[in-house]
Amino acid sequence: MPDITNIYFETARSFQEKSKKKGTQLYVPHKSDVFTRECLKVDESINELALYLERIRASYLSLGKRVANHGPNSANQQLTDKQRDDIDYETKMIIQQTLMRIRSLEDLERERLNKEAKNAGGISSFFVDMKQEEMKKTTTLHRAGMLWFLNDKLKRVSDRHSAQQEIRLSRQVEKTKSMLHNVGEETPLSSLRDFKPKRPSPENHYTENELPEVLRDLTPQQITQLETENNELLNELELSLNKAKAAEKSLYEISQIQSQLATHLSTQNEMIESLLDDAFQVHDDVSRGNQQLESAKTRNRRTSKIIISLSIFFAFILLFFDAITS
């Protein structure tokens, strides 16, 4: 068989040029509605957040003290605790704002359905176009699926950030425990258990009876230095504890958002199942209606044939009697 691809392309090109001259359009591009465009924007923002969390994951989980460089290779740099807290806060705000945008879309779709339900009442309910009704059900089901997809995608991103926060919190706690363990190895804490250090100042001094046995051989300068180091250690431990509490609070807030998303997804699943049942019911009704129309056409065709045959028969009889009488 000869290759006629070039002939096909030339014929299609000439036909397209003729259609342009006549002002006709072979293909009308589909224009998405406002609802779909807004859903695409929300999906894009969720994708950006997911990529950002993935990019800073290694730096976020590395508990180093080096300040991050906001350059092209900032993803490989370590972050400060302040920057991690800022990331948690910004991520929480983005998730909440995205959730509010999805809720607004759901309210918009709910208003559309209520408006259609009001317009469908009255006399118009007796003239229902089954095909149009099926298209409406399909549109409603499709939009419900888009909303469910956005909620589920946002929940998965929130779960990912929550997992990162849990890892950070656990590492912060382990770091604090490690500091306490190192202090216990370097200092005989059992002998200092009853020793309550005073703030280092010229007025504060200890008598020989107030000091533990392990400290009685130290000079006042050494005792003062020990007090200063002890206070610095306590301040550092207190700072680490505050960081852990802040991370735990942020984790709790994210978990609340996750709980809301999970509950809402469950409700949406039930709604989508109900819409699917309605869509299947409409499809069955349309199929049943088509079958009834076909059977009605068949009955009408048979009846019309009988009427035509009888009409022709009686016409011949009338012509026969007319011929006899004349």
Q: Is 268 left (phi over 0), alpha (psi -120 to 50) or beta?
A: alpha
Q: 16-30, 88-102, 133-147, 281-295: lowest mean pLDDT where? A: 16-30
pLDDT digits (tens, 9 = 90+) for 74-90: 455 678 888 888 888 89
Q: DSSP of 98-137, one letter per residue?
A: HHHHHHHHHHHHHHHHHHHHHHTSGGGGGS--HHHHHHHH
3-state secondary structure of 10: helix
Which among 146, 166, 177 is positioned nearest to 268, based on CA atoms? 146
Do 200 and 228 form a contact (C-beta atoms < 8 A)? yes
Q: Is the pLDDT of residue 141 over 90?
A: no
Q: Is the pLDDT of residue 196 over 60?
A: no
Mean pLDDT of the chain: 73
Sorted by sequence, the CB contacts under 8 Å of residue 131 that are 6+ apart come out as 286
More confident residue, 297 or 202: 297
* Helix pair 81-119, 34-55: axis angle to 10 deg: 160
User: Can you give the pLDDT at residue 97?
Assistant: 92
Angle ∠(235,238,242) on CA atoms, nearest 5? 135
Do 105 and 38 form a contact (C-beta atoms < 8 A)? yes
pLDDT digits (tens, 9 = 90+) for 210-247: 555 555 566 777 767 777 877 777 777 777 777 777 76
Kindly indicate the confidence band of residue 255, based on its pLDDT and cuts at 50, 70 and 90.
confident
Please report, rounded to a whole number, the percentage of residues in the chain having pLDDT higher than 70: 67
All structural domains of the chain: 33-62+79-117+131-185+225-261 (1.20.58.70)
